[in-house]
Amino acid sequence: MQKKILIIKSKKNKSKIVCLTAYSKNTASIIDKHCDVILVGDSLGSVLYNFSSTKKVTLDMMIEHSKSVRMGVKKSLMVVDMPHNTYRNSKEALKNAKKIISKTKCDAIKLEGGKKLVQIIKTLTKNKIQVMGHLGVLPQSATNFKFKGKNTAERKNILRDSKLLEEAGVFSIVLECVESSLAKEITKIVRVPIIGIGASVHCDGQVLVTDDLIGLNKIRARFVKKYSNIEKQINDAALKFKKDVVTTKFPTKKHSY
Ligand code: KIV
């Protein structure tokens, strides 16, 4: 098994895993120093392309953005989301996962779903493809984004699915918008690292969408904490540039040939 995967797995019950998304080289190279995992998430569909859901994201879009991200990632484990309708059966999943890995040189891929993915995950791992699972709210198939784990049936299903994914061979699972005590239980029972997003502090690590973290994406989800306000910084820079251009303060001799 790859060294980077073993390092992520060894963090279970020892130290927290830090994961952020990147869709391009410049962002990836800045966050790489601070992350254990960099995810090229299909959230790029809504964040960059204004799609109403991630369903419209294509394999080619994921590959092109991942190629850019690859140039910026030196130390983190790089994981790429397989988009909607690219892993409907084992044959399709294997073909597309191999394509993503060969074109982007990523370390692993991520799939959304539980029980119905067991055979697909087994096929991928048998072919030495590292797989990250994704349970809880599943944006590729969700009809709403309400948190999971409100009732007994939902709790039983997610708990069962997390065990099934572990048995099928995933090296880690993203748990999205899951009630705190259930996330705690899953993190305790499942032996691979659980990386939460809106799934409490009890998980083995946390993931956030970088554009949300830096205030570039106007999302108002409870699980998002804004750590800086890049929107304001871009606005201020553009305003200063505009003033300099209209008053001919820019370019000066220094910026001219
Ligand atoms: O697509 C994505 O960015 C994700 C994270 C939110 C976990 O799946």
Ligand 1, atom 2, residue with closest C-alpha: 41
Domain spans of the chain? Answer: 3-226, 229-257
**Over the stretch 167-183, which tens digit does the pLDDT of each residue have?**
999 999 999 999 999 99
Beta bridge partner(s), residue 77 = 37
DSSP 8-state code for residue 116: G
Average pLDDT over residues 68-77: 98
- For ligand 1, the distance from its centroid to the CA atom of residue 245, given in whole angstroms, is 40
Handedness of CA 35, 99, 132, 198 (dihedral sign): positive
**Over the stretch 110-164, which tens digit does the pLDDT of each residue have?**
999 999 999 999 999 999 999 999 999 999 999 888 999 999 999 999 999 999 9
Does residue 28 line the site of ligand 1, with CB under 6 A?
Answer: no
Who's near 190: CB < 8 A, 6+ residues apart? 162, 163, 166, 173
What is the number of the ligand 1 atom nearest to the C-alpha of 207? 7
Contacts by 26-33, CB closer than 8 A, 24 or more apart: 26/72, 27/69, 27/72, 27/210, 28/68, 28/69, 28/70, 28/71, 28/72, 28/73, 29/71, 29/72, 29/73, 29/74, 30/72, 31/76, 31/210, 32/72, 32/73, 32/74, 32/75, 32/76, 33/75
- For ligand 1, the distance from its centroid to the CA atom of residue 233, given in whole angstroms, is 25
Ligand 1, atom 4, residue with closest C-alpha: 41
Q: Could you give the percent of the chain with pLDDT greater than 90?
A: 97
Tokens encoding 74: 């030196």
For residue 220, pLDDT over 90 is answered with no
Of 3.40.50.300, 3.20.20.60, 3.40.50.620, 3.30.460.20, which CATH number belongs to 3-226? 3.20.20.60
Handedness of CA 33, 34, 36, 40 (dihedral sign): negative
b or e along 65-90 (b: 16 or more beta carbons within 10 Å of the residue's beta carbon)?
Answer: bbbbbbebbeebbbbbbbbbebbeeb
* pLDDT bucket at 1, cuts 50 / 70 / 90: low
CB 33 within 8 A of CB 15: no
- What average pLDDT does the structure give for the chain? 97
Please say if 154 is a catalytic residue.
no
Instruction: Report d(CA 183, CA 177) in Å as an integer.
Output: 9
Ligand 1, atom 8, residue with closest C-alpha: 41
The phi-psi region of residue 178 (left if phi > 0; otherwise alpha if psi is between -120 and 50; otherwise beta) is beta
